[in-house]
């Protein structure tokens, strides 16, 4: 299953729910600042490249999310693409490299409101996500390109606490595995209903990612390991109806 097939399945699932007039919907986007801390290793090349990107290395990105819910079932579809570039000295190499990193991510989940009492709502969910990484390291007389993708099953839990009619405290935790070596994430934030159909929010998120991949680099196939921690602060806005 490739990225286009995954997106088509997720979109079809959301469109199918439109036939039920009791469903509510939302679309949104936002801005964020992320920092990456980890490494990309290749025993075949005998190199390890530090993964140290922050907002100063940010080259560009785009992302969006959508949901549909009837109050019991919750369908979520999200996607993003970001690009970073930095200069570093690879471990085991006597030269400085320019490192370009592109990450494409898409996720589709189905949640079920298992508990809703007073101000508390608990929603376990499961789904599938797709991750693609593209690396390019360049130096004088040297260039290596590494690319791979992974599809994981994801399991998670959302905990929402309604402070009042306008403000809600939002929390989530998830774990995904399959093609990857196992990834997990935590997120906490708050959302504000500032108008009838509009929501604004802020959040802090943490992700631990571990992947193993293989691709052709400098004319020969190499295996690589990617292990990094990602911390993100974001602002969001959504329209609901």
pLDDT digits (tens, 9 = 90+) for 99-149: 889 999 999 999 999 999 999 999 999 999 999 999 887 777 667 778 899
Residue 166 has pLDDT above 70, yes or no: yes
DSSP code per residue over 66-111: EEEE-SSEEEEEEEEEEEEEEEEE-BT-SSEEEEEEEEEEEEEEEE
Give the C-alpha distances (Å, rounded to integers) separating 115 from 38, 109, 159, 199, 213. 37, 18, 10, 23, 39
Number of domains in the chain: 1
User: Residue with structure tokens 């801390």?
Assistant: 37
Q: Domain with 23 in it: what CATH number?
A: 2.40.128.90
Share of the chain above pLDDT 70, in %: 84
Return the C-alpha torsion angle 116, 122, 128, 130, nearest 10: 120
Residue 191 has pLDDT above 80, yes or no: yes
- For the segment 35-94, what is each residue's pLDDT rounded down to a tens digit? 999 988 877 767 777 788 988 899 999 999 999 999 999 999 999 999 999 877 655 556
What's the pLDDT band for 13 if we cut at 50, 70, 90? low
Q: Domain range spanning residue 87?
A: 3-240
Other Cβ atoms closer than 10 A to 103: 20
Residue 179 has pLDDT above 70, yes or no: yes
Q: What is the pTM of this model?
A: 0.84
Task: Spell out the residues 6+ positions from residue 82 whose beta carbon is closer than 8 angstroms to its own.
Answer: 34, 58, 60, 61, 63, 102, 103
End-to-end C-alpha distance for the chain, whole angstroms = 32
What's the pLDDT band for 3 if we cut at 50, 70, 90? very low
């Amino acid at each position: 299953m490739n990225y286009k097939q995954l997106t088509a399945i997720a979109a079809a699932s959301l469109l199918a729910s439109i036939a039920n007039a009791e469903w509510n919907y939302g679309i949104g986007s936002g801005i964020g600042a992320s920092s990456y801390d980890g490494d990309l290793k290749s025993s075949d090349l005998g190199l390890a490249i530090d993964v140290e990107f922050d907002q100063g290395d940010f080259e560009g990105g785009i992302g969006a999310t959508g949901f549909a819910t009837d109050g019991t079932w919750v369908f979520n579809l999200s996607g993003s693409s970001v690009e970073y570039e930095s200069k570093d000295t690879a471990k085991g190499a006597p030269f400085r490299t320019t490192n370009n990193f592109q990450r494409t991510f898409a996720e589709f989940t189905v949640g079920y409101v298992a508990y809703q009492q007073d101000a508390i709502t608990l929603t376990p969910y499961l789904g599938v996500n797709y991750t693609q990484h593209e690396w390019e390291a360049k130096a004088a007389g040297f260039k290596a390109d590494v690319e791979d993708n992974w599809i994981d099953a994801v399991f998670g839990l959302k905990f929402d606490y309604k402070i009042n009619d306008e403000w809600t405290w939002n929390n989530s935790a998830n774990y995904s595995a399959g093609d990857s070596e196992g990834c997990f994430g935590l997120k906490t934030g708050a959302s504000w209903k500032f108008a009838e159909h509009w929501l604004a929010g802020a959040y802090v998120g943490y992700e631990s990612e571990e992947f193993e991949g293989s691709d052709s680099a400098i004319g020969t196939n190499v295996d690589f390991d990617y292990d990094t921690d990602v911390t993100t602060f974001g602002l969001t806005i959504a329209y609901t109806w």
